[in-house]
Structure 1
Amino acid sequence: MAAILSVSGSPSAVSRTAHLLRHVTSRLTRHGHEVATLDVRTLPADALLGADFHHPAIVEAAARFEHADGVVIGTPVYKAAYSGLLKALLDLLPQYALAGKTVLPLATGGSTAHVLAIDYALRPVLSSMGAAHIVQGRFTLDRDIAVGDERADIDPAAADALDRVTDAFSTALPGPANILASTA
Structure 2
Amino acid sequence: MNKPNLGKNILIVEDDVEQMDLLVSFAREEIKTILANEQTSDDQREKIKQIQIIKVNNSASLRKAVTLGKGILLAIIDCNIPDSKGSQAHDQLVKTNHAITGQHKSVDIVTKHLPDAPITMISSLDRFQKIVSQFYERNHNLSINFIRKSDQTMIKRNINYYLRQYLKPSNK
- If the TM-score is normalised by the length of the shorter chain, which range does it land in? 0.5 to 0.7
What residue number does 2:78 align with?
75
Asked if the contact 1:8–1:21 (Cα under 8 Å) also holds between the matched residues in 2, the reply is no
CA distance in 1, matches of 2:114, 2:162: 15
Q: CA RMSD in A?
A: 4.0
TM-score normalized by the length of structure 1: 0.50
Answering whether residue 143 of structure 2 is matched by residue 139 of structure 1, we say no
CA positional deviation for 1:137: 3.7
1:1-184 paired onto structure 2 within 5 Å: 3-10=8-15, 12=16, 14-16=17-19, 18-30=20-32, 31=34, 32=48, 34-41=51-58, 43=60, 58=63, 60-65=64-69, 67-77=70-80, 83-84=91-92, 87-91=104-108, 93=109, 96-103=112-119, 105-109=120-124, 114-115=125-126, 117-121=128-132, 124-125=135-136, 134=144, 136-141=145-150, 158-173=151-166, 175-176=168-169
Aligned-partner residue type, residue 155 of structure 2: L
Q: Which amino acid aligns with 1:140?
A: K
Uncovered stretches (5+) of structure 2, i.e. residues with no partner: 1-6, 35-47, 82-89, 94-103
Give 1:75 shift.
0.6
> 1:165, CA displacement in angstroms?
2.0
Shift of 1:73: 1.9
Aligned residues: 132
Residues 28 and 68 of structure 1: CA distance in aligned 2, closer, same or farther (over 3 Å): farther
Shift of 1:94: 7.6
Equivalent-residue separation in structure 2 for 1:94 and 1:159 (angstroms)? 23
Q: TM-score, normalised by structure 2?
A: 0.52
Match of 1:52 in 2: none
Contact 2:78 2:122 in 1 (8 A): yes
Q: Matches of 1:62 and 1:22 in 2, distance apart?
A: 18
Residues 54-81 of structure 1 deviation map (CA, whole Å, 9 limit, x = unaligned):
xxx94x423234x124122231559xxx
Query: Which amino acid in structure 2 is aligned with residue 172 of structure 1?
Result: Q
Kindly indicate whether the alpha-carbon contact (under 8 Å) linking 2:30 and 2:156 is maintained by their aligned counterparts in 1.
Answer: no
- Within 2, Cα distance between the matches of 1:3 and 1:42? 21
The runs of 5 or more residues in structure 1 that have no matched partner are 45-56, 142-157, 179-184
Identical columns (%)? 9
Query: What displacement does 1:3 show?
Result: 0.9
